[in-house]
Structure 1
Amino acid sequence: MTHTVPPAPTSTPSLNDIVSCISGYDPNAMTVTQAQAAIREFIQPIAAIEKVAIRSALSRVLAQDIISRIDVPAHDNSAMDGYALRGTDVAAGAAVTLKVVGSVHAGARFDGEVQPGQCVRIMTGAPMPAGCDTVIPQELTTDAGEHAVTLPAGRVRPGDNRRLRGEDLAMGSVALPRGRRLRPSDIGLLASLGIPEVAVQRRLRVAFFSTGDELRSVGEALDPGCVYDSNRYTLHGMLTRLGCDVIDMGVVGDDPAALEAAFRSACEEADAVITSGGVSVGAADYTKQIMASLGDMMFWKIAMRPGRPLAFGRIRSKGRDAYLFGLPGNPVAVTVSFSFFVRDALLHLAGAEPKPLPRVRVKTAATIRKKAGRTEYQRGILAPDDTGAWTVRLTGTQGSGILRSMSDANCIIELEHERGDVAAGEEVSIVIFDGLI
């Protein structure tokens, strides 16, 4: 069941208010970091939450902190199969023979207290017997028999191989924080705490469509001068990986009435709208005009390659509003713009706390040409060289319309705004695709 938490009363600044505070703001020369910061500040996370069973919670965003109601583990227990004993019996560091007074398995408990000179056969995960604080692995013992076992000198120290009660999670501590996007290991953690369901943010609804008379959907005849629309399929995959509910609105031609109807319909059904094409200068590009007429919009030229034109803002129709991302039409530019602008914005809108995409520093296998004064995202292949050292090389020609360059790549080479040409052997930052694209 979904319900909405009323937001605290605040006055939401306009997008123009936000960008006016950017030092040196120029819509025709926005840096990547300036645009990212403006987008994040403008977006307000959705407030609707719902409760779901933990089996259905994968990739959902936690709406509340998860507080551990128990200690994990619930008792001191053995980290090894071996023998539980008193640490004082091995404190001197000399060989010692101990009397075996019982055994204990995981899920059971040893009755009584182990005395000096005694030990208990114990299995991994079994509770530590009273009086014991140390475990010696069975493979480190000698002359192990039913009634006695010898511990060679120096093989174990007091406190070794014991897992303490609550060392994983103490009762009352935060097990998982609000805003976390749940991974498989998180689902397992919830189960270990005996939690059957959790409160999560409602899934984002994202509508998207492509613009242009030249576009054809897969399955349609390809007329002269036309191309198949790949962008919608790329966006569908990326949105699905983010856990969004997707609304594919197809291709909208270069017709003002059709475009306005599409924007209004998308706005009325979704939390966010993504378009590809129509945000650069063109004789038949009505998209920018219609975007501007429907809401609070900015049209930027980002100092980056690929993906220079970018529209962002919020549009309204029939009392509903939605954030709008107008992406370039070139296939590679769509993927790059989504990855470095839209992805984090949608996570923030969904109530998640976006983490910076991990960057890895590696050496280049060859020279990379780069123009200073813009951030470049070049498609790379990360692989070990003949010595086993990991290096990165370009996929080939880096044109923004060459979708094959993205398909061949397993990483993005991120070349900083101020950087110029990169010599072979220099280090660069890369973002690995796995789990992203």
Structure 2
Amino acid sequence: MKDHRPAPLADDCFLHDRDRLRHEEALAILKERTARVVASERVPLADADGRILAEEITAPRNVPGFDNSAVDGYAFRHEEHAATGGFFPLAGRLAAGHPAEGALPPFSAARIFTGAPMPERADTVAMQEDCERHSQEGQDFVVVPTGLRPGANRRRAGEDLAEGGSIAAPGTRLSAPEIAAIASIGKAEVKVFEKVRVALLSSGDEIVRPGEELPAGGIYDANHFLLSALLKTLPVVVSDLGIVPDRAGAVEERLATAAASHHAVIATGGASRGEEDHLVGAWERLGKRHLWQLAIKPGRPMSFGEIGEEGRCAALGLPGNPVAAFVCFLLYARPVLMKLAGADWAEPLRLPVAAGFNIDKKKPDRREFLRGRLVYGPDGGLVAEKFPRDGSGLITGLREANGLIELDEEVTRVSKGEQVTFLPFAGFGL
């Protein structure tokens, strides 16, 4: 006889993770299903910060283009130091932008300033604070101490960039160091990929924007402002499509509108299995769904697919809880958008550190990302402390954290002092 007694109730909403898609499987799908969707354009170097490079940039000449002094001091020929006892008559004064008119006379030194071209024959510079100046019968002399190695304080031509050397490859996200290097070769414009057009919308009858009157049972739309701030760190242009009510027709219409003029749409809420969750169903009617329901915590209802004609618009459904939306954006949405923008797939920075906490029991078969903070332990080493509460609606945990503690599917417990993996927010550009 069949037993019709109800099964025990689960007090863990992430309990049944064995059959859900694992984190690495989800990443593999995202990598396979995403590619660059934008054309290229030329922009002034001053506007290139944060953009994705669309050309190979190499040095057309040496940088620096000539040997020059790294300090203010005195240039001389090192092999002549012993013969003069370090007592050199001064022959000339050399400043940046003013090359010497001739070679340095034998057994003499030249006053030289930082960045000035080295005179012919000179190969070493003594720092001015280590030297003594003297005058005798109208002639200035300098006493250079012993102990300097040959070539000290001299910058070689091509020391920074050699002619023909690579500066940056296509797919590189330009930041201050790359921009400085490009400026150093005299390039005023660069070829970059256009910004990805992203539509951002929130879902839920209970959601209202800050500044509006909060109805009974309502909540303010923190996710929109959370994601808007995160998107500002990427080469994208964001359109605010507002809040869509919990009605299947309204959700489908809003998504179709977004797909017509955007490369990607990001929606929060409405991605679970509830009767009022219409996002995934609308995607399936408008396009394809490639992943949904992940074996991760937080962020289980994360979804990804494509909508519009020929799947031209990527669709990312993030959980409605702010912490889960934040985690899923960093782990999944951010690298997808970067790849759409022409960048290489961005792996997060992972640091092995000691755990500053204990976990007596962790469920296997799911990957967990705990909010944490790096601190210095008693021995001076880095230790990861865990935020004491795990609720995915607690924005406080994000404010107090500076990264995520990653526990993979096989981990079932953590002991204090054990090595864990820490993903610093700084590695995501935050």
| TM-score, normalised via structure 1 length | 0.88
**Structure 1: runs of 5 or more not aligned:** 1-25
In structure 1, the partner of 2:406 is 414
Which of the residues 90, 93, 97 maps onto 1:107? 97
The residue identity in structure 2 corresponding to 1:366 is F
In structure 2, the partner of 1:205 is 197
Distance in 2 (alpha carbons) for counterparts of 1:85 and 1:356: 50
The residue identity in structure 1 corresponding to 2:91 is V
Q: Is the contact made by 1:85 and 1:132 (CA closer than 8 Å) also made in structure 2?
A: yes
Q: Is the contact made by 1:61 and 1:351 (CA closer than 8 Å) also made in structure 2?
A: yes
Q: Is the contact made by 1:411 and 1:433 (CA closer than 8 Å) also made in structure 2?
A: yes
Distance in 1 (alpha carbons) for counterparts of 2:83 and 2:228: 64
Matches within 5 A, 1:18-57: 28-57=19-48
Offset of 1:63 from its aligned partner? 0.9
In structure 1, the partner of 2:4 is none
Q: Is the contact made by 1:27 and 1:300 (CA closer than 8 Å) also made in structure 2?
A: no
- Of all paired residues, the percent bearing the same amino acid is 37
Distance in 1 (alpha carbons) for counterparts of 2:353 and 2:121: 52
Which of the residues 208, 214, 236 maps onto 1:222? 214
1:51 counterpart SS class: strand
Matches within 5 A, 1:364-379: 364-368=355-359, 370-379=362-371
Task: Please say if 1:82 is aligned against 2:82.
Answer: no
Which of the residues 340, 343, 346 maps onto 2:337? 346
Distance in 1 (alpha carbons) for counterparts of 2:291 and 2:330: 19
In structure 1, the partner of 2:53 is 62
Distance in 1 (alpha carbons) for counterparts of 2:260 and 2:303: 19
The residue identity in structure 2 corresponding to 1:420 is T
The residue identity in structure 1 corresponding to 2:401 is A
Q: Is the contact made by 2:84 and 2:107 (CA closer than 8 Å) also made in structure 1?
A: no
Offset of 1:306 from its aligned partner? 0.5
Offset of 1:102 from its aligned partner? 1.2
Cα shift readout 1:60-109 (whole Å, capped 9, x = no counterpart): 1111112222321010111111111113224x699432221111011111
The residue identity in structure 1 corresponding to 2:358 is T
Structure 1 consecutive aligned stretches of length 4 or more whose deviation exceeds 6 Å:
none
Distance in 1 (alpha carbons) for counterparts of 2:128 and 2:355: 49
1:157 counterpart SS class: coil
1:391 counterpart SS class: strand
The residue identity in structure 2 corresponding to 1:100 is L
Cα shift readout 1:404-431 (whole Å, capped 9, x = no counterpart): 2112212111222322322112222212
Distance in 2 (alpha carbons) for counterparts of 1:404 and 1:153: 61
Moved more, 257-266 or 114-123: 114-123
Which of the residues 115, 120, 133 maps onto 2:123? 133
**Structure 2: runs of 5 or more not aligned:** 1-16
| TM-score, normalised via structure 2 length | 0.89
Offset of 1:269 from its aligned partner? 1.5
Q: Is the contact made by 1:65 and 1:176 (CA closer than 8 Å) also made in structure 2?
A: yes
The residue identity in structure 1 corresponding to 2:127 is P
> Alpha carbons of 1:85 and 1:409: their partners in 2 closer, same or farther (altered >3 Å)?
same
Distance in 2 (alpha carbons) for counterparts of 1:368 and 1:89: 69
In structure 1, the partner of 2:146 is 153
Cα shift readout 1:219-251 (whole Å, capped 9, x = no counterpart): 222222222221111111111111310011111
Offset of 1:385 from its aligned partner? 4.3
Moved more, 34-43 or 181-190: 181-190
Distance in 1 (alpha carbons) for counterparts of 2:251 and 2:297: 27
Distance in 1 (alpha carbons) for counterparts of 2:154 and 2:381: 39
Moved more, 266-275 or 395-404: 395-404
The residue identity in structure 2 corresponding to 1:194 is G
> Alpha carbons of 1:28 and 1:233: their partners in 2 closer, same or farther (altered >3 Å)?
farther
2:302 counterpart SS class: strand
2:119 counterpart SS class: coil
Which of the residues 108, 113, 117 maps onto 2:107? 117
Moved more, 207-216 or 338-347: 207-216
Offset of 1:338 from its aligned partner? 0.6
Q: Is the contact made by 2:287 and 2:311 (CA closer than 8 Å) also made in structure 1?
A: no
Distance in 1 (alpha carbons) for counterparts of 2:44 and 2:374: 39
> Alpha carbons of 1:249 and 1:77: their partners in 2 closer, same or farther (altered >3 Å)?
same
Q: Is the contact made by 2:104 and 2:120 (CA closer than 8 Å) also made in structure 1?
A: yes
> Alpha carbons of 1:310 and 1:147: their partners in 2 closer, same or farther (altered >3 Å)?
same
The number of residue pairs the alignment matches comes to 409
> Alpha carbons of 1:99 and 1:405: their partners in 2 closer, same or farther (altered >3 Å)?
same
In structure 2, the partner of 1:15 is none
Q: Is the contact made by 2:52 and 2:235 (CA closer than 8 Å) also made in structure 1?
A: no
Distance in 2 (alpha carbons) for counterparts of 1:316 and 1:357: 30
> Alpha carbons of 1:308 and 1:173: their partners in 2 closer, same or farther (altered >3 Å)?
same
Cα shift readout 1:33-74 (whole Å, capped 9, x = no counterpart): 121121011112024111111111111111111222232101
Q: Is the contact made by 2:272 and 2:301 (CA closer than 8 Å) also made in structure 1?
A: yes
Q: Is the contact made by 1:28 and 1:300 (CA closer than 8 Å) also made in structure 2?
A: no
In structure 2, the partner of 1:265 is 257
Matches within 5 A, 1:210-289: 210-289=202-281
The residue identity in structure 2 corresponding to 1:105 is A
In structure 1, the partner of 2:10 is none
> Alpha carbons of 1:412 and 1:306: their partners in 2 closer, same or farther (altered >3 Å)?
same
Q: Is the contact made by 1:238 and 1:436 (CA closer than 8 Å) also made in structure 2?
A: no
